[in-house]
A and B are shown apart, each in its own frame.
Chain A
Amino acid sequence: MADAIVTERLTKSYSGRRVVDNLSLRVPQGTVYGLLGRNGAGKSTLLKMLVGMVHPDYGRWTLLGEDGGALSPQTRGRIAYLAEGHPLYSWMTIGQAVAFTHAFYPAADRTLVEKILDHFGLARSAKISRLSKGMRAQVSLALALAPDPELLILDDPTLGLDTNTRRDFVESMIHVIQRRGRTILFSSHVLGDVERVADRIGILVDGVLRVDCPTEHFKGAVRKVVVEFGRQPPEFAGCAGLLGQWQQGNRRELVIVSYGPEQRAAIEAQSPRRIDVIELNLEDAFIAYTRGPQRPLPFPVGEPTDDTGASAQGAA
């Protein structure tokens, strides 16, 4: 199958810091690709580079088979981008925003956007400045879906939405996917949503694409291994797939991708007293992958948890 998105060594630095680092990615047509990463990992910058809002320092990319740096208006008309935070011109009415966006997609069928607005119960005459966050998100989604795009690029589309609006949004994404051949690349922090809709996930850590695999592989592959020694743990040289290790007293905790006999043998060679292998859900696996050693928050022990402490301070 053809690739909807291909990037080759895309790189971008801001004030000497590499925000996106040598990133090569392929998203086959018809795939829903979920891009994960902590804040500042480079997700937005990557998406902005794809749609031409940020110029890369280095690298090439194609969208729907065309050079991304020189997209023809026709190809642009087959791609929709939803920016983070759903920016819209607040002085427009919904109807004006629809007309404005339509100018960029002259080939689009107007009935689709009408149907979506009706589905969400949005009045054309409503002023965008008066809309709630959830309604603005719905308007942006309606505008993005209006041209029935072949490729949708969504930057954290459910950020800040309440649970119901978020579910509506995810349902709309499912509708898009059900139309064959539609490709979606989206970033998100809501791992449950990602698991529901994404065929593949990518994880960005400090601008580097560290994980790029089918969603269920990642979920099935990352293990936390707790090794109990009953004495000071000996030095561990590591094994293939080791993401991180840290020590707590007589035990060592390891986070390992694709844990198997080889890894087990390496651990057993140190003759520990006990090995516990813990499967992780997507959220735990993601945290284990991106955070590394777990450190408790530096709260002093016995600090009051209600607001009496704060008010006492205020009185003093």
Chain B
Amino acid sequence: MTLHVDTASRLPIYQQLVLQIREGIARGDLQPEERLASVRQLSSELTVNPNTVARAYTELEREGLLVSRPGLGIFVAQPRGELTKTARDRRLIELLDRCLTEAVHLGYSADEVIRAVTQRAGQFQWKSDGRK
């Protein structure tokens, strides 16, 4: 997976990296246990301050998406289901409501939105049976 940095963006560089990696994991471009470039490598590759890369990695580690193994490197974490079913349901509903609100204001019908969601969902990697 190739990361990139856009200094004309309104997002700070570390947040750009966080978003790209998060999306890479969600789409399956980055697989569990896959090793990421070291802070030093990525800093040279992207020509950004190593502290910025480290900050992005730290944030993703805090979210549980990456794990660092001292001496070995930084890896994509195994998906963990530490949130309860209710908590996850609540998060999902919140997110959906935000999207749907925008869609209403943009003037779409419910059918159009459902079609678009189905189509986009094909681009992501899903758990086959859902988490119990």
Contact = CB atoms under 8 A, between A and B. Distances in A.
A196 B48 CA distance: 5
A198 B7 CA distance: 13
Given A167-B47, A174-B48, A177-B50, A216 B8 contact: no
B78 interface: no
Contacts of A171: 44, 47
Contacts of B44: 171, 174-175, 178
B47 A196 contact: yes
A32 B49 CA distance: 9
B10 A279 contact: yes
Contacts of A279: 10
Interface in A250-283: 279-283
A195 interface: yes
B46 to A, nearest CB: 8
Given A196-B5, A196-B7, A219 B12 contact: yes
Given A174-B43, A178-B43, A196 B49 contact: yes
A199 B51 contact: yes
B86 interface: no
A76 to B, nearest CB: 27
Nearest to B14: A216
A283 B49 contact: no
Interface string B70-113: 00000000000000000000000000000000000000000000
Given A174-B43, A178-B40, A178-B43, A197 B48 contact: yes
A283 B47 contact: no
A242 interface: no
A32 B12 CA distance: 16
Contact of A281 (B10, B40, B47, B49): B10
A174 B45 CA distance: 10
B118 interface: no
Interface in A154-202: 167, 170-171, 174-175, 177-178, 191-192, 195-199
A197 B49 CA distance: 5
A138 interface: no
A199 B49 contact: yes
B12 A174 contact: no
Most B CB atoms within 10 A — which of A177, A178, A195, A198?
A195
B10 to A, nearest CB: 4
B80 to A, nearest CB: 28
Given A196-B13, A216-B13, A216-B14, A174 B8 contact: no
Interface in B18-59: 40, 43-44, 47-51
B37 to A, nearest CB: 14
Contacts of B5: 196
B9 interface: yes
Contact of B9 (A167, A178, A281): A281
B50 A178 contact: yes
Contacts of B40: 178
A220 interface: yes
B7 A174 contact: no
Interface in B59-76: none
A215 B12 contact: yes
Nearest to A171: B47
Most B CB atoms within 10 A — which of A196, A215, A280?
A196
Contacts of B15: 216
Contacts of B7: 191-192, 195-196, 281-282
Given A171-B47, A177-B49, A178-B40, A192 B13 contact: no
B16 to A, nearest CB: 10
Interface string A205-218: 00000000001100
Given A196-B49, A216-B13, 4 more contacts: A174-B44, A177-B49, A196-B7, A216-B14
6 contacts: A32-B49, A170-B47, A177-B43, A178-B50, A215-B12, A216-B12
Interface of A: 32, 167, 170-171, 174-175, 177-178, 191-192, 195-199, 215-216, 219-220, 279-283
